[in-house]
Structure 1
Amino acid sequence: MTLFGSPASPSARRLRAGAFLCVGALSLIGLSGCAADAAPSASGSATSSAPGGSSSSASEAASATATPTPTPTPAGTAVALACTDLLTLDDVYAFNPNFGTDPSYKPTSSSAKTAASFQGLTCGLLNQSSGDKIEFTLTQPNTVLMTQQQDKAVASSKIVPTYGTPPAVQGFFSANAGIGEAQVFTDKYWLTFSSSDFAEPGDAEALVSAALGHLK
Structure 2
Amino acid sequence: MRHAPSRPSAALRTLVLTGTLALSLSACTGPSPTGPDASPTPRAASSATPEATATAAPAPDLVSRPLTVDCGDLIGADGLSSYYPSLALVPADDAAGDESRDGEALEIVAEADGTICTWQDADGATITVGVARFDGESLDELANELVATSNSVPTYGVEGYFDTPGGVGTAEAFSSPAFVVARSTTFLEPGDAEPVVSAVVNVLQTID
Residues 136, 193 of structure 1: 8 Å contact kept: yes
Matched ranges for 1:67-106 at <5 A: 73-103=61-91, 104-106=94-96
Question: How many angstroms does 1:175 deviate by?
Answer: 1.7
Task: Determine the structure 2 residue equivalent to 1:145.
Answer: 138
Question: How many angstroms does 1:144 deviate by?
Answer: 4.1
Residues 91, 207 of structure 1: 8 Å contact kept: no
Question: What is the CA–CA distance in structure 2 between the aligned matches of 1:186 and 1:109, rounded to whole Å?
Answer: 20
Identity of aligned residues (%): 28
* Residues 214, 94 of structure 1: alpha-carbon distance in 2 compared, 3 angstrom cutoff: farther
For residues 90-133 of structure 1, the C-alpha deviation after alignment (integer angstroms, 9 at most, x for no partner) is 1342431143112212342221121011111111112343x322
SS at match of 1:209: helix
Task: Determine the structure 2 residue equivalent to 1:182.
Answer: 171
Deviating runs (4+, > 6 A) in structure 1? none
Task: Determine the structure 2 residue equivalent to 1:116.
Answer: 110
Question: What is the CA–CA distance in structure 2 between the aligned matches of 1:180 and 1:211, rounded to whole Å?
Answer: 17
Question: What is the CA–CA distance in structure 1 between the aligned matches of 2:77 and 2:188, rounded to whole Å?
Answer: 23
Question: How many angstroms does 1:215 deviate by?
Answer: 2.1
Question: What is the CA–CA distance in structure 2 between the aligned matches of 1:172 and 1:72, rounded to whole Å?
Answer: 22
Of structures 1 and 2, the larger Rg is shown by 1
Matched ranges for 1:154-193 at <5 A: 154-164=147-157, 169-193=158-182
Match of 2:187 among 198, 208, 213: 198
Question: What is the CA–CA distance in structure 2 between the aligned matches of 1:138 and 1:201, rounded to whole Å?
Answer: 18
Question: How many angstroms does 1:142 deviate by?
Answer: 2.3
Question: What is the CA–CA distance in structure 2 between the aligned matches of 1:179 and 1:84, rounded to whole Å?
Answer: 24
Residues 73, 144 of structure 1: 8 Å contact kept: no
1:135 partner letter: T
* Residues 201, 92 of structure 1: alpha-carbon distance in 2 compared, 3 angstrom cutoff: same
Structure having the larger proportion of residues in helix: 1
Segments of 5+ residues of structure 2 without an aligned counterpart are: 1-58
- The two structures, once aligned, show a CA RMSD in angstroms of 2.0
